[in-house]
Structure 1
């Protein structure tokens, strides 16, 4: 009888910044029950990877789980995989940080479990061949990629078994192909289906190794899986079948296979990830084209032959698809570069004690989930983006201390801070860091508040996504069904069978749960009515000349713009004085057919940690009505909570931060987030009306389609008649009180470092 070796490799992960309740729920529904079942099957061996962010939580909150894993390790039933500590995409971080994270996590795991770390999990299986030498330098001997990588490189069928050797600059690593078909069988089809497939594999290539590598959360945490895997007993049935067929199925770890089975040969994997990830990395319209192409040909007789040559996009292009991901990436690089220069002695170091702590915050900020978007929320989840910036700001502030910067200071410098080939401006004080983009409207695109450890402009634009069409189609189909039902009711007097705003995920006819990739669930009704797209980035200091009498709802829809300033190019000079750093930006543009000039001077002031913005308009057409507005966005200050609210000049509450407001003229509007400990206010020397509204994206997550609050728009706007000299000016102060946040931080325990 033909035999087969089966590697079961599980990857458990929760991102930096995720809610504690999500960690707890995943532990209760997935991580713990899986091991409790495995404990009853001592002959079944698995390979287990747990990301560092999750492992640190388990060590702190669930020490009994660590003891349980250690007991499996000691009897040889579990092999521990390493990898980069905080689960960064390897393509998103410098080589030095790849090696540093891998080495740091291996040391941590070896001290925790007493097992030498030889293999690793590649985050999201995003692969580029040059990673090989970094991985080998980190002490790793073998890893898992998807069989999709190997198919893209020209292999197929029985060639996708065992493992291959690869090299870069003479450094070698073994690559195991993770079987895609197994990923869709386990645990979504009857266990017998997996055994049948393994029989087929064994007959095709007797004695081979087949590898299953996928998320551990699919065993209980993904929607519907806890009931199928545990309550209905899928996992026990599967393990029972493995035991019943142990005469020809041997479960083994990656290390066992590496030691006892010869490699298939040498292979250089092309740059890619798992199939779905390559699709998500494409621009939205190309993603839809690929989907349609597959649908139109997947039943063709020759589809199996040519599908492996049909490839999606390249992971790094997420930074093009989502500029917000690029902003995080570039900010991370500036911190990493500075830390590296200090570590090597290229920059002066006054106090080295904080370098290790800064490195830990940098590594945490490299956690991958916020840098891309697919079937999970990822980039669309504000709390994950906020966590990235929290750690970057902490690292940056620590490096300021390493450099000996104490007391009050203010600096201004220029450079290509977002790697687009154009020059940006950075204003730095002991209280804040502000990034300005003269080449795009003179926008303020990042505002890091040191005291609150918060980027007030970690915004996200509303943009088309492929699944938005599914939302529209669902609502259209529901409306059509309702119309038919009304006709039927009129004719036959039958009752209503509508299920409201949610498509219930279909049950699998094989008795398992439905794959997360096939779920169609609506978490809120009427999402199609909330779809909308932003004509300019949701940043601050976006300059608008509007139609006189324009309403807040019209402007919210992107109507009424009469100037070319929101995305125009501004000329810039820098100025610095004691405790003050300034960027002077100016532009001659058009208000309809009239050329006018706008100058805005943005000053970062160390004394009070505020931004002062002075606007000067000139060459206005005398006697003409002018409607000038300056758009601000405030991100990370949550909506729908009573402790996050607006207040007026008299300190009176005006409603929560998701409110749409149309306020009469006033000289001050404040926003408070008590949980964050931040009180921000827009103060004017020339009273203005204020508009506010929430920016909500409609996005896809593992739980379904949902509306997510991204930022609060605040727009002071002035309507006046242009004076005879064509001149008008206003001064805006953006004040930032972080005293409550700093008081909370004094109560925090000291953070551990990763070395």
Structure 2
């Protein structure tokens, strides 16, 4: 059917990245390959190569003009906000932009029309068409997600059961409204002029990317201005999600690293895994879903690990600035594990991959405040479907207890100091009030043979007295294991008693692990994390409160495990502690 509609000119298919990447977020070589995959697919399935391209999330940067021209495209669609930011007022046609002297047609998607279809009555839509005609406009442009025609809350009933779509199609058929494809319109109509658009996405996206406090300020300012003046106001840009969510940046850096290795080794057999990992959904969060959904993040990680397994492999440590923050990190590769260590973040392990299972074991999202925690949206008129941006959401009472926000990132191998007599209940209440200053702080790092050594010395505040301890951490690979060790030295002149706690945040649910004595067993991964000396193991779920399409939802992001040793150290005495991550479960 689609092939017939394409052949008759009733449907025009758009190209794009095959696995829906944001093109500006991936290397140019991968952009080219993803577009070729889509072009080849459309040619094979429908007998056509596309003239236009749909940009994922309409994320635009000026250099895309020359890239898309070279890729064989004549046009793309962008939101009208892009054009207003460039000072272009007329949105009833298309413009030409260029980069390096290579031109591209750009169509402005009418925001008003995007909110009218399919959420408002036919009378409102007809009135808007009349308004466009009265202003001399000859074309109304819409391009949007198909999910609003049945998948968004209330739209299936409104669009199909209550007959909105049938009525709308009858209206188009009985009125002098000509339906045109974009390429047909370009062939018969000259451009409105040239336009040079700044980096942007749709208006809501550029609000979502802002930190909550800034987003609140932005919305207060926007609502205080007359509608015409709001055209000059803009929020952030898509790249800022890497700042708002370090987990997103970490994922993207891993993807860039894998892409570079594939290119270096010309390992095309690993490319498909990489392309799947470039799907944009897991890298950002707006009104719902995205980064907050563990299955999306873990699918991306799994594809990246699968790609790495097809690359040449060399065991050992590598030192480099992998996350592009100006400070070196260390990566360990063994046949069983990949370990990523960040000395500047408390000597933390920020990622452990089980290579046998192609699973990121430490994928746990940090709990942070979102703008929508502070408000509930207003709904539309009764009886109508609502845009996803208009659905009324009120934070349910049961979610209030999970509105806990972390003061540091949910990494692992974190060093925490508390009073020697701390119990589980007190610890849970005073979680962010420890007596040491090691979490998130800089550790000195060096390689010694096959081990990474991390060191930090700092003061403690135990019952009002000042003391100092030095923590030396060691990570040493084994055949199918990794040893994590501590040498904890009392650097003061008096005896010290305190609880030393090692925090590990693992990508598990409540029924996926077993705690037995001083060992944490994970049957599903065939792994165990075992202490050499007797340790108490406390476990706490890490739950976030985020919006879904319909309501708020509480999502288990992982389990936080805390290995506790109660230590008593004389002056200059050192205690040795060990944890071993083993591949394979013990018989008992």
TM-score by length of 2: 0.95
SS of the residue aligned with 2:190? coil
Counterpart residue number, 2:332: 427
Correspondent of 2:361 among 456, 461, 466: 456
Counterpart residue number, 2:523: 672
Which blocks of at least 5 consecutive residues in structure 2 are unaligned?
A: none
Counterpart residue number, 1:183: 114
The 2-side partners of 1:233 and 1:507 are apart by: 19
CA shift in 2, pair 1:279/1:559, >3 Å: closer
How far did 1:359 drift? 0.9
1:114-133 matches, cutoff 5 A: 114-133=47-66
The 1-side partners of 2:440 and 2:106 are apart by: 47
The 1-side partners of 2:522 and 2:103 are apart by: 55
Asked if 1:582 corresponds to 2:451, the answer is yes
The two structures, once aligned, show a CA RMSD in angstroms of: 1.9
CA shift in 2, pair 1:252/1:451, >3 Å: same
Counterpart residue number, 2:499: 627
Counterpart residue number, 1:213: 143
CA shift in 2, pair 1:92/1:553, >3 Å: farther
How far did 1:507 drift? 6.3
How far did 1:522 drift? 5.5
1:654-669 matches, cutoff 5 A: 666-669=517-520
Asked if 1:320 corresponds to 2:189, the answer is no
The 2-side partners of 1:359 and 1:523 are apart by: 42
Once the two structures are superposed, residues 276-297 of structure 1 have per-residue CA deviations (whole angstroms, 9 ceiling, x without a partner) of 0011111221001011122333
1:556-575 matches, cutoff 5 A: 556-557=428-429, 558-575=431-448
Counterpart residue number, 2:282: 370
Correspondent of 2:512 among 645, 661, 683: 645
TM-score by length of 1: 0.74
Correspondent of 1:152 among 70, 85, 95: 85
Correspondent of 1:257 among 163, 185, 204: 185
Asked if 1:516 corresponds to 2:363, the answer is no
Asked if 1:192 corresponds to 2:64, the answer is no
1:80-479 matches, cutoff 5 A: 80-156=13-89, 159-206=90-137, 208-245=138-175, 247=176, 249-297=177-225, 303-343=226-266, 355-400=267-312, 405=313, 410-470=315-375
Counterpart residue number, 2:486: 615
CA shift in 2, pair 1:181/1:737, >3 Å: farther
Contact 1:209 1:257 survives alignment (8 Å)? no
Contact 1:648 1:670 survives alignment (8 Å)? yes
CA shift in 2, pair 1:228/1:730, >3 Å: same
SS of the residue aligned with 2:404? coil
Contact 2:499 2:564 survives alignment (8 Å)? yes
SS of the residue aligned with 2:287? coil
Asked if 1:704 corresponds to 2:551, the answer is yes
CA shift in 2, pair 1:548/1:619, >3 Å: closer
Counterpart residue number, 1:660: none
Contact 1:141 1:174 survives alignment (8 Å)? yes
The 2-side partners of 1:259 and 1:633 are apart by: 57
The 2-side partners of 1:241 and 1:620 are apart by: 82
Correspondent of 1:603 among 476, 487, 490: 476
How far did 1:536 drift? 1.7
Contact 2:255 2:274 survives alignment (8 Å)? yes
With a CA cutoff of 8 Å and minimum separation of 6, indicate the structure with the bigger relative contact order: 1
The 1-side partners of 2:426 and 2:406 are apart by: 13
The 1-side partners of 2:290 and 2:24 are apart by: 17
Once the two structures are superposed, residues 50-91 of structure 1 have per-residue CA deviations (whole angstroms, 9 ceiling, x without a partner) of xxxxxxxxxxxxxxxxxx322322332211111111111122
The 2-side partners of 1:225 and 1:435 are apart by: 45
Which blocks of at least 5 consecutive residues in structure 1 are unaligned?
A: 1-67, 298-302, 344-354, 472-502, 650-665, 740-755
Counterpart residue number, 1:532: 404
The 1-side partners of 2:566 and 2:410 are apart by: 23
SS of the residue aligned with 1:263? coil
SS of the residue aligned with 1:518? coil
How far did 1:619 drift? 2.4
Contact 1:550 1:560 survives alignment (8 Å)? no
The 1-side partners of 2:484 and 2:567 are apart by: 20
The 2-side partners of 1:96 and 1:127 are apart by: 18
Contact 2:380 2:390 survives alignment (8 Å)? no
CA shift in 2, pair 1:241/1:450, >3 Å: same
The 1-side partners of 2:184 and 2:384 are apart by: 30
Once the two structures are superposed, residues 660-709 of structure 1 have per-residue CA deviations (whole angstroms, 9 ceiling, x without a partner) of xxxxxx32121333xxxx13322111101111010011111222211111
The 2-side partners of 1:314 and 1:251 are apart by: 33
How far did 1:197 drift? 0.8
The 2-side partners of 1:737 and 1:154 are apart by: 63
Once the two structures are superposed, residues 502-533 of structure 1 have per-residue CA deviations (whole angstroms, 9 ceiling, x without a partner) of x9x85634x43011111123586421221011
Counterpart residue number, 1:44: none
The 2-side partners of 1:446 and 1:669 are apart by: 18
The 1-side partners of 2:9 and 2:75 are apart by: 18
The 1-side partners of 2:332 and 2:280 are apart by: 28
CA shift in 2, pair 1:150/1:422, >3 Å: same
1:484-523 matches, cutoff 5 A: 506=379, 508-509=381-382, 511-521=383-393
Once the two structures are superposed, residues 418-452 of structure 1 have per-residue CA deviations (whole angstroms, 9 ceiling, x without a partner) of 11110100011122211000011000001111111
Once the two structures are superposed, residues 260-284 of structure 1 have per-residue CA deviations (whole angstroms, 9 ceiling, x without a partner) of 1111111111111100001111122
How far did 1:723 drift? 3.6
Once the two structures are superposed, residues 15-49 of structure 1 have per-residue CA deviations (whole angstroms, 9 ceiling, x without a partner) of xxxxxxxxxxxxxxxxxxxxxxxxxxxxxxxxxxx
